[in-house]
Amino acid sequence: MFDTFTARPIKVARGPIFTLTAGEGPPILLLHGYPQTHLMWHAVVDQLTGDHTVVVVDLPGYGGSFRPETAADHGTYSKRAIGDDLVELMHVLGFSAFAVAGHDRGGRIAYRMAVDHPDVISAAGVFDVVPTGEVWSRANAQMALTYWHWAFLAQPAPLPEDLINANPSAFFDHHVRALGLGRAPGRYPEELMAQYRALLDDPSVVHGICEDYRAGAGVDREHDDDDKADGRQIRCPLLVLWSAQGALPKFYGDVLALWRPWAKDLRGRGLDAGHFLVEDQPEQVAQELLHLASMGHVP
């Protein structure tokens, strides 16, 4: 995996970010979600490097990247703070404008970057997410039972950390795999699943995951609410992909309708995949990313 990529930590103001780069051409930054690392893009990246410079990272708090300091308001793990880290990273690499796409939590960072940095983000992709505020404002019993981890992981430290650290394998087997990780036949090599499982053996990663969700329950919602109140939108092209088999169409019906207040240049579709659609359908995702990048522009 990633045989053609150069892997190295790149220092930004808050700490080093584990980064892999390959290819030539217009840059595209790929962001993983919960609870994964850059490895989730393994079946996509080689389809992009012929025409693009591809940058893949471990998000701060995950994998080989730095662990942000913990703050009382959890703002150090906010999508805004991490998005700013990633814009700085891309500037270090020499890119003043670029496309970004993210799955799950990475998708939330991607849309935050597009709102906060309209002069930098040329196109954005968000995969199997709806805006953070919509999740909370529309929460009901169905959501609470299906995505119970949203509230569990956001509980004050150290309760969720202690419970996960007591038996990380059980948490992985009974929760992470239940979300669909590893379900598509032939898409998840044993060594890949072993590395995903090993993530939860690191208490610093578990704490980072919890801080991410605490930020999502608080400061991230505040940032979204402020944007809506002030009429700030995503000005670049926005691609939304979601699992046609998954929770979003069941919970929300018209997924794109939830994104229309955020972006005028919007398109998207459901894929015949589970939540981990990048690994379930890498060829389709790669084609969508190539099309998105070709449409990119800085307003």
Residues marked active site are found at 104, 275
For 219-233, give the DSSP string. Answer: HHHHHHHHHHHHT--
Residue 220 main-chain phi, psi, to 5 deg: -65, -40
End-to-end CA distance of the chain: give it in Å, rounded.
35
Peptide bond into 158 cis (omega under 30): yes
Contact 15/60 with Cβ under 8 angstroms?
Answer: yes
Q: Is the distance from CB of 127 to CB of 242 less than 8 angstroms?
A: yes
Residues written for the chain: 299
Per the DSSP assignment, residues forming a β-bridge with 215 are: none
Distances (CA, A) of 61 to 135, 206, 208, 230, 269: 23, 9, 5, 30, 30
What's CA 255's distance to the chain center, in Å? 17
